[in-house]
Structure formats: C-alpha cells, structure tokens
Amino acid sequence: MAINFLNTVDFNRNSVNNIRIQNLGADPSAANSAIGQIYFNTTSDTLKQYVSDTGGGNPGWIEVGATSGVETFTNANGTYVAFGTVNTSAFGDVTVGTVDLTAVDGTSTASDRFLTKANKWATIPFGDITEVQGGTYINVTNQTGPIPIVNHDLTSRTDTTSTASPGYGATFTAVDSVTTNTTGHVTATNLKTITLPADTLYTLPVTTLSGNQARISLTPTVGTVASTVDFIGTAGRIAITKQVQNNGSITVDFPDDVIIVDDLQVGGELTVLGTGQSSFGGQVTIPLVPVVDADAASKRYVDQSNIGQSVFQGGYNANTNTPDLDVSPATDIKKGFFWAVTVGGTFFSEVVQPGDLIYANQDNPGATFSNWVVVQSGQDIATANTEPLAIRGISAYDSTYFNVNGTGWATLKSQANANGVSQTLDNTTPVSRVEANGLTTFTIDLEDTSLFGPNALAKNVTVEITQNVSPFQTVYADVTRSGSGDISIIFSGSVAVDIYRVLLTHV
C-alpha cells in the first residue's frame, strides 16, 4: 500500500535518485487528476501529463512531447451535413461546433427521394385515395390529407326528472333492464311495476310474569304476539322490578345483599365503607412490596426483611485468628453475623486492619474465603506492595486507565495510556477547521480537558495521522506547533471532517 502525503513535499533543492514514475494502463479519472500530474501509460508506452485548456476546452491527459498528437485539423461541409465551425489547419483546442443536417421544411412530391435503412435513395409511394369523407355519426378532419382524422360524433341528450312519495300498498314503475346493440346504442328498455307492502303497527308492552321476572312482547295491532323477551333475576344477585303496561319499564339492579358465586374482578379501587369485621375464606393476594406505611405487608416482604440481618458478634484478632474464622469456624454461624477487626493481620490471605468488618455471606460459611465478605474501613493510606500485602486504603483510580479488582488491587490497563489520546479531525471542540488559500487546517487545543488539560505544551506532543476508517493507513501532512497549547495539521486542497484522526502522545 502506498504512503499517503496530504501536503506538498519540499525537497529543498535535493535530488531524488532512481525514481520510477507511476505505471498505469489507462488515464486516471478527472476526479483523481490534477494539473501537472504525470504517469507512464503502459498500454501506449508513453509518458502522459494532465494539462489545463486555456482555449476554452476541458482539461485532460495528453502525451508528453510537442509532435506526439494531431498537429493541425481541417474540416468542410458536405451536401447534406454541415458543421457549426469550419476549420482550416487549426491547432490547439479545436471545435467543429454543432453538426446538423442541411434539410429544410417543404412538401414532398412524387419526384422526391428518401434514404432507406439499406442506404439507398427510393421514391415516395403515392396512392389513389384523394379524400376521406364522414358518414352517420362520423366526421373527418383534413379530409384530403395528408393525414385525415376520423372521429365519432358527440352524442347529447336532455334528461327529465320527477318525484313521487308512494304510501304503504302503493305502486310505481321502474326501469328493470336496458338492451343495447353491438355499437353501444340503446335499442329497448323494460319497465316493471312495483307494489309496496301494507302498513303494520307494533307495540312493546311490559306484561306480567310472577316473581323476580318481567317480559316485553312485540305485539301487532292486528294478529298475535310476534316475539317476546324475558328478563329473569337471580336471588341474591340480580333483582328485577317492572311497571306492567304499554310503554312500561323494567329495572335491573343488585339486591341489598349481593352474593358473588364465582370470581369478582374490580378494574378500579375497592372501598369497603362498613366498620364491621371483614373476613376471607381463602388467601388474599397483595403486592409483594408495600409503598406507604398504611399498606399491608406480604409474607415474602416480611420474610425477606428479616433474612441476613446484621448481628454483631464482637472483635476479631486477625494476628491470632481469635475467634477462629478462617481455619475451622463454628458451624452455627448464620448469614449476617459480623466481627470488627481489633488487631491487624491476615484473614485467609487478605490483609485486614483495625476497623475492618468481616461478614458471613451464608449460613455455616466454613473455611472458604468466597463465603465471607470483608468491608475495608479505608482509614489508612493505600500502600504499594505485592498484592497480598498491600494496604487497601483511601485512593481512587481513573477507570479509563486502571483495573481494580474486588480486593482493591489496582493495575494499569494493558491498552490504556494516560498520556495518549486518539482525536478525530472534525470541527467540534477541541478541534477547529479552516479552509483557505488551497489549504485545509485543523487546529487542536491541547489544553482542553478532554485532551491533556491546562498548561499542556504543543512542543511536548508527538503526532501520527491515520485514516479514520479501515485500513487506518498512516498519512503525512504538515504539522506545526505553537509556543503554547495549539497544534495545527495542514492538508493541501479541501479535506472534509471525520476523514482522518490523530494519535497524540504527551512526553
């Protein structure tokens, strides 16, 4: 992979020995070309250069050498084709203008000729039809040609309207069907006489049923009851009251004492206003965790509230293992029992000091360190030593650069560097972008807290520039450092944001 230089390289009048020009089989695209660029074309075995066109044409690749291309250009008009520009021994950027036919508008005759696809001149065939005339419902425009257009006449009609309000048992006439011929013209219609049914009046009286029941009957003015609907209550659950008459009423309600035979689900809140004793034949399910003081507590909540209660057992001499906690502890030790270290030493292999607390993490924890929890008092200053002997004390670590295990042992992350930063070249603090005079400059404020902080000096920072996406190739641009905390990355041309990033190391 080639090394990318993204700014001008100044050799300060030094020579480049044994240099080899880039070999390509075809011209690079315009997007990958610049004025003055050269390469060796292996197809034509020629050295080529990319040039501008001061004559008004487009830049392009040409062979290096004064006589290697077309030297002069001459063109002339023909009988049927003409050029916009006629040249005689022209050179440089030459144009022929617009190329077009010399034909003009006119009317063809029998003696005219046309060019066939077989590249032959042929006569125009003229027929015997001289005029196309219209007939019934047909009209023709441009009857004598050359292109007559045949049209169907427009059909118009005037519709009439009428209204009627027939009563019960009345008749009216309606169009039942329409017959048309193959051309779409109506040839016949069928009229049908329709008779409406006679009027029938119904009532819905409430009729008598014994007990906790009621009935409504669909009753015609003439004839028998057409249909009935019965309302039947249930003792202790549904009460039915009624007003027996035409346009009567039926009331469905709960009785004063309601019996729920099966399940009852309340969508909102259930409020019991009575002050007497309420009882439940089965268990009552409530939320596991109460919210306010007046809420009922579940069995699980009460049980969990008392599991693992911390119970102080006294002092512990870590120097003499008194009482015995890490060799052969008592089997009746319960989860939550804890001791306060009174004399420093080791608990299993961990260093403990006065003030530390040792908790049993399960019933009968035995001589297994993972069944115990040591709470460091953190009153001493942390010390440097081997992992078992280092004092765990007051200290804090940046998780970006350090790992700290459960015993408080801190180690430097293998891929972290507290003095190194990877920064994308964008236009957001601490980076600013300026494009001017054919250059793009990204200025980085090294004193920003996201980098090296106040008083950071650019002279003490090394820089490597890489691509921001795979393969993350190292590239080269001009790097300048101020006397303070600014460092500038300068590229030739226009370079967009987020294309490159810099790896910064403060030494």
Taking only the tens place, the pLDDT of each residue in 188-211 is 999 899 888 777 788 888 887 888
Among the listed residues 216, 215, 212, 217, the one whose alpha carbon sits nearest the alpha carbon of residue 253: 212
pLDDT at 68 over 60: no
Taking only the tens place, the pLDDT of each residue in 161-174 is 888 888 887 888 88
Sign for the CA dihedral angle at 407, 410, 413, 418 comes to positive
Which residue has better confidence, 102 or 435? 435
pLDDT at 370 over 90: yes
pLDDT at 129 over 90: no
Q: Hey, how many other C-beta atoms are within 10 angstroms of the C-beta on 3?
A: 8
pLDDT at 107 over 50: yes
- Grade residue 384 by pLDDT with cuts at 50, 70 and 90: low
Q: Hey, how many other C-beta atoms are within 10 angstroms of the C-beta on 487?
A: 23
Taking only the tens place, the pLDDT of each residue in 436-488 is 999 999 999 999 999 999 999 999 999 999 999 999 999 999 999 988 999 99
- Grade residue 357 by pLDDT with cuts at 50, 70 and 90: very high
Please tell me the distance from the alpha carbon of residue 218 to that of residue 191, in angstroms, as a whole number: 38
Among the listed residues 322, 326, 333, the one whose alpha carbon sits nearest the alpha carbon of residue 349: 326
Which residue has better confidence, 396 or 296? 296
pLDDT at 310 over 70: yes
Q: Tell me, what's the pLDDT at 67?
A: 46
Q: Tell me, what's the pLDDT at 3?
A: 67
Q: Tell me, what's the pLDDT at 434?
A: 97
Residue type at position 478? D
What 3-state DSSP class applies to 183? Answer: coil
